A and B are shown apart, each in its own frame.
Chain A
Amino acid sequence: MYYSDDEWVKLISTLIVNPVLPRNFTVDPSLLKNPEFKKLYDYLMDMRSLSSALSRGDLQHFVYGKGFILSNLKALQSNLRHLTWQTKKVADGDFSQRVDFLGEFSDAFNEMTVKLHDLTMRLTQLANMDTLTKIPNRRALEAFLVDSFKNAVGNKKPFSIIIFDIDFFKSTNDTYGHDAGDAVLVQVSGRLNRQFRAHDIFSRYGGDEFMAVLPGTSLRAAEKIAERARASVEEAEIPLNANDSIKVTVSAGISERLENDIRYEDVIKKSDRALYVAKKTGRNRVCCG
């Protein structure tokens, strides 16, 4: 079959321009036997199918043709597929993902991941912090206990727990009011907190009780630390307002993980019993369990 120049232009134009190929569209089979035409025809059909898939958001449509326009479409497809993968990573909490291949969108995406990271850090910090004393709360304490106890058992390392309780806190509250009680909690926790190392945790355990977990620390060493902490509270004047201040004391119970302590709760129980003994034997003292 012979194609005039006009017919050639019409055929190629139809393949490139028409959004939908005409219902009766056919290509002369003899033409498809020409390798050069076949190559061009396949290229244009690949271009149509890939660009159409991309416009629909279908990123699973693969073509194997090569050449300038198809390669650009494939590069776009590849970028969008990588972006999809990155978005899934962000959804899983990996905020280190950055995009550098989609112009303004890259800036927006990168700003989003930075903000998500900052926000998540802030929320995590808030979720793990006691709002009054600004020290770790019970949630953070429990997470730390799980990890550090497991590590201590696995590596056969010492592991000690100290529980502090403010002596006569209820009467301080009753006598001076709740604001004064809060001031005492803040001041006492601040003084106690200063005695611990970065890899310990000192946290609010509940009410006027605080717990310190000391990985890698023996009972004797923990006792010295607890005694120093107790003394630091005893010597302090706690300001309640511009004119008034009071003195308070704390009691502490300590214990160390022994072979038969298979859960961290076992160590807490022993510290709790030691604290009870400290309270019963006069307060303002440190007892070991």
Chain B
Amino acid sequence: MRRYEFNWDLIGDIDLGRPNLGKEVDLELYRLMQFTLRDVIEQTYSTEEADRLFREAGKVAGKVFYEKYINPVSSVEEFVSKTQKVLKEKKLGILRVEEAMLEQGKILLTVDEDLDCSGLPELDYETCIYDEGFISSLFEGFTKSEWDAREIDCWCTGARTCRFQVTERAKA
């Protein structure tokens, strides 16, 4: 019997629970939770395992997010424009498409002002692992086939925007 299997009810009724403080929270503290969680997972398991778990968590988030905020959409155009709109409204980031060849299973997109990484200090590795899982799940929700997202440029490696190569697994 699982205790933490995700469903939106676990999030609760925020309006009811926070009548004075509301829905907003300081982004620094969102990152505090994420980075401390990653710290502990890495210490407990390994860097690779921490990355894998973050990617998987991102995938779960992308899946339920797609169902709640994007679905239903009937065309690639609608999928892209609705995703752009919702990500911006929810202040997750500004999504831009550089190339969308859905039939060939290749998408190149960027996310500006990313929730997880914009403003981070420079590192020599890409850090938006959670986003990779999240983005791949959005495409999986839309196409019903398996996708992988890989970050090829990241704020924390000196880029001013995060760039993701998204590929359909069957066509990779």
A66 touches B98 (CB 8 A): no
By beta carbon, the residue of chain A nearest B126 is: A66
Distance in Å from the Cβ of A16 to the closest Cβ of chain B? 18
Q: With A74-B153, A89-B77, A96-B81 given, is the CB distance from A82 to B158 under 8 Å?
A: no
Distance in Å from the Cβ of B126 to the closest Cβ of chain A? 10
Within A60-102, which residues are at the interface with B (CB < 8 Å)? 64, 66-68, 70-72, 74-75, 78-79, 81-82, 85, 89, 92, 94, 96, 101
A74 touches B77 (CB 8 A): no
B96 touches A82 (CB 8 A): yes
By beta carbon, the residue of chain B nearest A69 is: B158
CA distance A82 to B110 in the complex (A): 9
A-B contact count (CB 8 A): 44
By beta carbon, the residue of chain B nearest A88 is: B100
A71 touches B159 (CB 8 A): yes
Chain B 149-172: CB-based contact to A (< 8 A → 1; otherwise 0): 000110001111101000000000
CA distance A79 to B157 in the complex (A): 18
By beta carbon, the residue of chain B nearest A89 is: B77
Q: Is B49 at the interface (CB under 8 A from chain A)?
A: no
Q: A81 is contacted by which of B99, B112, B152 (Cβ under 8 Å)? A: B99
By beta carbon, the residue of chain A nearest B95 is: A82
User: Chain B: interface residue count, which band?
Assistant: 10 to 19
CA distance A68 to B122 in the complex (A): 10
A85 touches B99 (CB 8 A): yes
Chain B 94-128: CB-based contact to A (< 8 A → 1; otherwise 0): 00111110000000101010000000000000000
Q: B160 is contacted by which of A75, A89, A92 (Cβ under 8 Å)? A: A75
Distance in Å from the Cβ of A185 to the closest Cβ of chain B? 40
Chain A 137-160: CB-based contact to B (< 8 A → 1; otherwise 0): 000000000000000000000000
Q: With A66-B157, A67-B158, A68-B158 given, is the CB distance from A81 to B77 under 8 Å?
A: no
Distance in Å from the Cβ of A53 to the closest Cβ of chain B? 15
Distance in Å from the Cβ of B94 to the closest Cβ of chain A? 8
For A79, the chain B residues whose CB sits under 8 A away are 96
For B99, the chain A residues whose CB sits under 8 A away are 81, 85
By beta carbon, the residue of chain B nearest A82 is: B96
By beta carbon, the residue of chain A nearest B124 is: A66
Q: A78 is contacted by which of B77, B81, B96, B100 (Cβ under 8 Å)? A: B96
Q: Which of A64, A67, A71, A72 is packed against the most chain B CB atoms within 10 Å?
A: A71
B152 touches A64 (CB 8 A): yes
By beta carbon, the residue of chain A nearest B160 is: A75
CA distance A92 to B161 in the complex (A): 27
For B81, the chain A residues whose CB sits under 8 A away are 94, 96
B158 touches A70 (CB 8 A): yes
For B98, the chain A residues whose CB sits under 8 A away are 78, 81-82, 85
Chain B 1-44: CB-based contact to A (< 8 A → 1; otherwise 0): 00000000000000000000000000000000000000000000
B97 touches A85 (CB 8 A): yes
Chain A 35-76: CB-based contact to B (< 8 A → 1; otherwise 0): 000000000000000000000000000001011101110110
Distance in Å from the Cβ of B166 to the closest Cβ of chain A? 14
CA distance A68 to B153 in the complex (A): 13
B158 touches A66 (CB 8 A): yes
A75 touches B77 (CB 8 A): no
B110 touches A78 (CB 8 A): yes
For B163, the chain A residues whose CB sits under 8 A away are 74, 78
Q: B158 is contacted by which of A71, A85, A94, A96 (Cβ under 8 Å)? A: A71
Q: Which of A74, A78, A81, A96 is packed against the most chain B CB atoms within 10 Å?
A: A78
For A68, the chain B residues whose CB sits under 8 A away are 158
Chain B 73-85: CB-based contact to A (< 8 A → 1; otherwise 0): 0000100010000
| Interchain residue pairs with CB less than 8 A apart (11) | A64-B152, A67-B158, A71-B158, A78-B98, A78-B161, A82-B98, A85-B97, A85-B99, A85-B100, A89-B77, A94-B77
A residues near B, CB below 8 A? 64, 66-68, 70-72, 74-75, 78-79, 81-82, 85, 89, 92, 94, 96, 101
B residues near A, CB below 8 A? 77, 81, 96-100, 108, 110, 112, 152-153, 157-161, 163
